[in-house]
């Protein structure tokens, strides 16, 4: 349909809407229409690749990345050109809220303290280890190297949980992986936001950075908790599943936006709101029907967000750049693995024996190798400002880390689980 025809239809229903469209210009309208068409094709592609992944019994996250890579190499379609801020705002809330809302609250209460010990220091350790390695070996400025460390500190449990479910691995281990990822995702994004400014300006004030980080963490958590309680009570006052689903969606994006507007952490606010709405909210007024529909809603929105980001990752990978930066990518991959070993294998040193969640070497090995990087790492890398020092190299290294963890670690994880004997009998 031509732009003039669209304007004519809009004028018939709303003269004011048509005048706004004319002010923005027909070229802008056609650009929006083109972007929507591209997203429609992406959704269709994600569905078809997902069907193929189920048929060949491969993790769909891996299949989506490989599928996007193959499509880009053959120039089948064009990637939507998204503003970095839009990219984070559109995809982050459903990615974070989905995992928080559907997390098993009873299991989480039992494992929360030890998981916090595993996840919170894990982000800082990963950023320091990876950042230090990049500075020493690749001579990347420290602030920029730490920024990259925050990007790869966010783990992605999507492929791992699918493997766990397929092999009947214990629910406890799945909750550990999912809860750790949920918490360190929020922490990693918060650290990323703080370090972006330092990397771009090149000016570092340790005390000021620590204060900003503390404000982001505690402010975001408090805002999310208060909004989660308020929306849970509001949900309990009505009995209409459509309104309750709308309120839940508004809570996910609203908590993110409100926290960001007062310079607190939007991602942590979204996580806190999702955790409270998914646990406290269920108890104070959700009917069985509403609970089931909300679980389905967030599972779907989380799947769509993950699918689109994984496809965009595959489209954005530059194979030639990966070959050119093979040494830098190798350093980044090894640094991430070393950091994962330190975080996971040594977490018991800082945890009383009664609070340990990883009881055996087999479980430690699986959690080390299952520390995959995925949608969030890709989104953070793509959202780096254009004036970030060595941005192209950072994006290439991030994609290299994601591809290695998803393809190599993700495809060999089932064999490792069988090897260490964690497969449960049916």
pLDDT of 241-254, one tens digit each? 899 999 999 999 99
Report DSSP letters for 206-259, one per residue: HHHHHHHHHHHHHHHHHHHHHHHHHHHHHHHT---HHHHHHHHHHHHHHHHHHH
Positive or negative, the CA dihedral 412, 415, 417, 420 is negative
The reported pLDDT for the residue numbered 39 is 75
Q: How many CA atoms lie within 13 A of 343 on its CB side?
A: 33
pLDDT tens track for 102-124: 877 677 777 777 677 777 788 88
pLDDT tens track for 338-385: 999 988 876 554 444 544 555 578 888 888 898 888 878 887 887 888
Report the share of the chain in percent with pLDDT over 70.
82
Q: How many CA atoms lie within 13 A of 385 on its CB side?
A: 14
Count of all residues that appear for the chain in the document: 426
The reported pLDDT for the residue numbered 404 is 92
The reported pLDDT for the residue numbered 83 is 59
The reported pLDDT for the residue numbered 10 is 34
Please name each of the domains of the chain with its CATH number.
3-57 (no CATH), 84-420 (1.20.1530.20)
Residue 115 sits at φ, ψ, to 5 deg, of -65, -35
**Residue 105, burial from CB neighbour count under 10 angstroms (0-12, 13-18, 19+):** middle
Which of the four pLDDT bands, split at 50, 70 and 90, describes residue 289? confident
The reported pLDDT for the residue numbered 335 is 96
pLDDT tens track for 67-83: 777 777 666 666 656 55
Which of the four pLDDT bands, split at 50, 70 and 90, describes residue 224? very high
pLDDT tens track for 321-338: 888 999 999 999 999 999
**pTM value?**
0.77
Residues 6+ apart with CB under 8 A from 306: 61, 95, 158, 374, 375
- Whether residue 24 is predicted with pLDDT greater than 50 in this model: the reply is no
pLDDT tens track for 252-275: 999 999 998 888 888 889 989 998
């Amino acid at each position: 349909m031509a732009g003039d025809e669209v304007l004519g239809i809009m004028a018939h229903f709303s003269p004011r809407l048509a005048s706004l469209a004319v002010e923005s210009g027909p070229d802008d309208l056609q650009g929006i229409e083109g972007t929507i068409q591209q997203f429609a094709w992406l959704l269709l592609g994600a569905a078809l690749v997902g069907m193929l992944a189920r048929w060949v019994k491969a993790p769909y996250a891996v299949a989506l990345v490989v599928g996007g890579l193959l499509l880009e190499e053959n120039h089948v379609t064009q990637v939507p050109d998204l503003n970095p801020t839009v990219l984070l705002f559109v995809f982050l809330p459903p990615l974070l809220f989905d995992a928080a809302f559907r997390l098993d609250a009873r299991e989480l209460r039992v494992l929360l303290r030890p998981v916090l010990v595993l996840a919170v220091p894990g982000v800082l350790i990963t950023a320091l280890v990876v950042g230090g390695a990049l500075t020493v070996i690749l001579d990347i400025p420290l602030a920029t190297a730490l920024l990259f460390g925050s990007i790869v500190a966010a783990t992605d449990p999507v492929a791992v949980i699918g493997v766990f479910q397929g092999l009947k691995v214990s629910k406890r281990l799945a909750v550990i992986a999912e809860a750790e990822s949920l918490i360190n995702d929020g922490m990693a994004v918060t650290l990323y936001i703080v370090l972006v400014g330092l990397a771009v300006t090149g000016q570092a004030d340790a005390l000021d950075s620590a204060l900003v980080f503390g404000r982001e963490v505690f402010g975001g958590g408090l805002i999310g908790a208060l909004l989660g309680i308020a929306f849970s009570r509001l949900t309990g006052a009505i009995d209409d599943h459509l309104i309750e689903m709308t309120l839940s969606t508004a809570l996910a994006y609203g908590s993110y936006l409100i926290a960001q507007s007062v310079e607190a952490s939007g991602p942590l606010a979204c996580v806190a709101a999702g955790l409270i709405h998914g646990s406290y909210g269920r108890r104070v007024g959700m009917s069985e029907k509403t609970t089931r529909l909300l679980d389905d809603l967030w599972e779907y929105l989380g799947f769509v967000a993950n699918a689109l980001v994984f496809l965009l990752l595959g489209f954005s990978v530059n194979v030639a750049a990966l070959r050119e930066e093979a040494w830098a990518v190798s350093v980044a991959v090894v640094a991430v693995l070393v950091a994962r070993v330190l975080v996971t294998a040594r977490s018991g040193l800082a945890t009383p024996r009664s609070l340990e969640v990883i009881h055996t070497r087999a479980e430690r090995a699986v959690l080390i190798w299952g520390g995959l990087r995925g949608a969030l790492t890709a989104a953070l890398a793509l959202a780096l400002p254009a004036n970030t020092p060595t941005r192209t190299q950072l994006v290439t290294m991030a994609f290299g880390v994601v591809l290695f963890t998803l393809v190599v670690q993700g495809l060999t994880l089932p064999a490792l689980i069988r090897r260490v004997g964690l497969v449960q009998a049916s």
